Amino acid sequence: MKGSIRIGSVRGLELRAHWSVPLIMLLFAYGLGSRTLPAYAPGQEPLVYAVAGVAGALLLLLSLVTHEAAHALTARRAGIPVQDMTLWALGGLTRMSRPTTARSAFTVALSGPLASLLLGGAALGAAAAAGASPAWRIPTAVLWWLGGTNLLLGVFNLLPAAPLDGGRVLQAALWWRTGDRDRGQRAAGRSGQVIGMVLAGAGWLVFVRGNPGGLWLVLIGMFVAVTAGAERRWAELHAALRGVRTGEAMTSPVVTAPDWLTVDRFLTEASGVTPQARHSAVPLVDFDGRPSGVVRPARLASTVPPERRDELRIRDVASPLSRCTLATADEPLSGVLDRLSPESGLPILVTDGGRLVGIITAHDIERLSKRPGTGRRNPESPSTDDAMS
């Protein structure tokens, strides 16, 4: 996620935090220290409330880390590659490859809410035990707040709405019952759009009745609805491309550029005289004619200062081959799309024996998905997902 930095690791998995995390933690600490604790345990010094508020916010942050770590470690035990975990204003995000079976998808999705519910129960139990002592009123109040927040987090995440964990559980259940992953994802997406709009509407009613906290529910609801819509469209695209091979979607021959050109020379040649000007992404080839990366002319012109363009070579500022998505012409296109990530996304470079034979851009995929008969050309052939499961 853009705007995030590495803050540590959990069992060898990178943990990152978005810039919004300190802001939301300060808001939690302020609310706990200025309203919740004084109402539960009045008569304390302001410093006591402030310290307890910060401690409660940090414990909640650890709870969110535990929630995401449960997802990541469960996925890793199931053999699913995990890239990293990122905390942000609306919770957390664990980046991993798509589960290959409905069972693994179900267990990974359920592990996070289960961890939150267990933490919530443990915190409430500790609060009940500590509540018997008057000297522990402040820690008890923090534990009650922490337990209730974790229970709310666990229950909320179990709503059957993508991209919430409950939406993943619904998708996995429908996948197991029907054998069709895309059908489950479409259903979870539709449910997410409906529930997201309901949450946004409820939040707006709360806000107009005088509670500013309703705006937070509006934000969450809109996020759920928009993300669910995007996941539903992705599932529909994935289903439309079922049975299509990569070679059928690629553009060939490919316009390439030598990677040893300077930035200045490349931009001069791509200024309108050569075919590069018509392409948003241009593959680079080395002296042996093998692909070495991808450069985007528009981005290149805006990021490289004019005074350095005659000394930098485009291979030094291009996306290297290690961050490109590679495929062979006979691979199922749906399986290749599953491998896309923010680091190695479109375009897809199609190779044969190490030589570049084609390229697939977003335009190619959109064009193919709208072609009559796409997705029904070989109905007896399973998709990559079905074959792996």
Q: Which residues neighbour 210 within 8 Å (Cβ) at sequence distance 6 or greater?
A: none
pTM: 0.79
What are the tens digits of pLDDT across the range 240-251? 888 889 998 898
Does pLDDT of 386 surpass 70? no
User: What Cα–Cα distance (Å) separates residue 269 from each residue in 107, 273, 296?
Assistant: 53, 6, 14
What are the tens digits of pLDDT across the range 342-384? 666 788 999 998 899 999 988 888 887 776 655 544 333 333 3
Say what percent of the chain tops pLDDT 70. Answer: 90
Task: Find the helix packing angle between 46-77 and 137-157, rounded to 10°.
Answer: 40
Does pLDDT of 274 surpass 80? no
d(CA 136, CA 37): 12
Task: List domains and CATH numbers for the chain.
Answer: 4-158 (no CATH), 246-388 (3.10.580.10)
* 314 alpha-carbon distance from chain centroid: 30
d(CA 263, CA 265): 6
Token pair for 96: 């991993």
Higher pLDDT, 299 or 144: 144
Contact yes or no for 331/246 (Cβ under 8 A): yes
Contact yes or no for 168/192 (Cβ under 8 A): no
Contact yes or no for 299/317 (Cβ under 8 A): no
Place of tokens 């949450």: 199
Of residues 350, 386, 162, the one with CA closest to residue 252 = 350
Confidence of residue 218 (pLDDT cuts 50, 70, 90): very high
Contact yes or no for 123/146 (Cβ under 8 A): yes
Point out the catalytic residue in the list 14, 45, 68, 248. Answer: 68
What are the tens digits of pLDDT across the range 48-57? 999 999 999 9
pLDDT score of 378: 37
Higher pLDDT, 143 or 388: 143
Q: Specify the range with the lowest mean pLDDT, choosing from 106-120, 160-174, 273-287, 316-330.
A: 273-287
**Is 68 known to be catalytic?**
yes
Higher pLDDT, 136 or 328: 328
Burial level of 1, CB count in 10 A (0-12/13-18/19+)?
middle
